[in-house]
Amino acid sequence: MNGKELLAKLNNKQRVYGTAILSSSPVWPAALKNTGLDFVFIDTEHIPLGRESVSQMCQLYAANGFVPLVRIASPDPYEACKTLDGGAMAILAPYIETVDQVKALVGATKLRPLKGEKLQAVLDDSEKIGTVLENYISERNANNLLFINVESVPALDNLDALLSVPGLDGVIIGPHDLSCSLEVPEDYRNPAFEKTVTTIIKKTRALGKHIGIHFSAEPDVQTKWAENGANIIMHSSDISLFTRQLKNDLNQIKDSLGDARSDARQRETIV
């Protein structure tokens, strides 16, 4: 699957499924081939991954049929360009709050290789590009997708304007930052948090964009938000799934053998 095919699946009213990958191990992509994943989420905002490692991950996952969705470290159009050059097919920009931020990222992902004054003129609608260049740009960027993190009250207040920017494909809600912006840190069942997430999902889908929310919690949380309209299922991460399953397996063995089990809860920060 490539970026164009992933978007077509979403536009065809189907859901897409992914998980966060923290490990840069080259054996992971092939191991995940039969899991039912459509894309992998590679996070460079919170995870210490260098440009070369991210590029290698993107190339390997793409070669195994997964769309590499990379969250860049900051909402910087040059970071988006660098990441696409490395092999990403989808860009996720963190903590977006303004229309100008979205427009700049559209320029970096959907209008490459335009830069400088010409790019700004096209983004401002003060200049129209010719058919030859328009076709070239469209073909060159056909597999590039753009998503933004909506994770603050100002972003919520400005949501209609953000979603109206042509070239934006969708939204990924950042639950941790959103909960802090709402002053209910990590209280993901708080009525204020749930109401806000519902509002973001409904508005985004009503305006024809796609949306997901990243959680490392149990699958029922993903099901709940999908039933409310989310069509991008971004579930957990390699490290969370591994440690949770390992703990469960070891406790089952220890229970059978009469050894003391580990009941300490592992804190997972949701990003």
Q: What is the CATH number of domain 3-257?
A: 3.20.20.60
- Domain positions in the chain are 3-257
Distances (CA, A) of 230 to 10, 52, 234: 11, 32, 10
Q: Please determine, for residue 218, whether its predicted confidence score (pLDDT) is greater than 90.
A: no
Q: Please determine, for residue 242, whether its predicted confidence score (pLDDT) is greater than 90.
A: yes
- Find the range with the poorest average confidence among 36-40, 151-155, 259-263: 259-263
Of 136, 137, 206, 131, give the one whose Cα is nearest residue 171.
206
Question: What mean pLDDT do residues 247-266 have?
Answer: 90
Of 271, 249, 267, 251, give the one whose Cα is nearest residue 259.
251
Q: What is the pLDDT of residue 216?
A: 79
Tens digits of per-residue pLDDT, 36-81? 999 999 999 999 999 999 999 999 999 999 999 999 999 999 999 9
Cα 137 to Cα 141: distance, rounded to the nearest angstrom: 6
Name the β-bridge partners of 71: 43, 92
Q: Please determine, for residue 266, whether its predicted confidence score (pLDDT) is greater than 70.
A: no
- CA end-to-end span of the chain: 26
Proportion of the chain in helix, strand, coil states, percent, rounded to 5: 45, 15, 40
Question: What mean pLDDT do residues 213-232 have?
Answer: 92
Of 29, 141, 139, give the one whose Cα is nearest residue 81.
141
